Amino acid sequence: MIVALIDSGLGLLPTAAWLRKLRPDVDLLLQLDPDGAPWGPKPEAWTVQRVLDTAADSLRLGAEVIVLPCNTASVTALAQLRAMVGPEVPVVGTVPAIKPAAAECRSVAVWATAATTASRYQADLIARFGGAAEVVGIACHGLADSIDRGELAAARRAIASAAERTPDGVEGVVLGCTHYPLMADEILAALPAGVRLFDSAPAVAAQTVRRMEELGRPSTGNGTILVRTSGRPGPLPPSAGAFESGRLLGVGLS
C-alpha cells in the first residue's frame, strides 16, 4: 500500500508523521514542489494543473491513496482531482479544525496565510462550523514561507506578530495552514498559558487510514519513504533539517 501526500512544501510532514504513527507499515510517497512554491498566490488554473500532474506522477509510481495535506490544494483542486482519478482511488483533503475548536472553546482564532484568511472559503467554514463560538481570523504573514525555507528566526517573528494580534481571552487557536504544526511548540510559547491548539493533521491521517482499510487490500509495505521534489527523485529539502528534533517529526520521520 502506497499513500501519496501532495503539497507545495513541508506542510505535508505533520500528516505524514501521524500516518507513520497510525500505520508504520504503509509506504509513503512525499510529493513536494519547491519549484512551484508557494501555491497560494498562484492562479487557480495553474495550481489545479500542478496538483493533477503530481497526482498522475504518483499513480504512475503505484500510489493507491492520495492525500492533499494542504489547504490551498484542497480548496482549489480537490474536486478536479477526484474527477480525474475516479472512485477507485481514495482522495483525502484537508479542512482547518474549526469545528472541533468551536465545539470546545468559546472564543477561537484561526491562524492561516493571508490569502486563506481573506478567502470566502474560510469565511464559509466559520459560518458553517463556528457555532456559538466567537471566531476571528489572524493572518500569519510569511510564516509558511519561513518554515519552508528553514528560516527559524523569521518564523518566530511571524509567530510573535500573530500572537500580538490575537485577541485577549482566546481559548483556542486553529492551525489553519498545514505548515504551522511544525512550529507548534513555539506557537504555544507565544500564546497565554492555557490556550489550546487545534490541528487537522491527526484527523486527516485517521481519515486516510479509514479510506485505506475500505479498499480491503492487504498492506505489503515496510514503511518506506520516497521523496520527490517537483517531479524529480530527491531527499527532503535542506530546510526540513531545521525540524528534525521537532515534536511531530519525532513521531516517525526523523
Known catalytic residues are 70, 177
Q: Report d(CA 112, CA 114) in Å as an integer.
A: 6
Q: Report d(CA 228, CA 235) in Å as an integer.
A: 7
215-225 CB burial, b ≥16 within 10 A, e <16: eeeeeeeeeee
Cell of 108: 477561537
User: In residues, how long is the chain?
Assistant: 254
Q: Smallest Cα–Cα separation from 12: which of 23, 3, 25?
A: 3
221 close to 1: Cβ distance less than 8 angstroms? yes
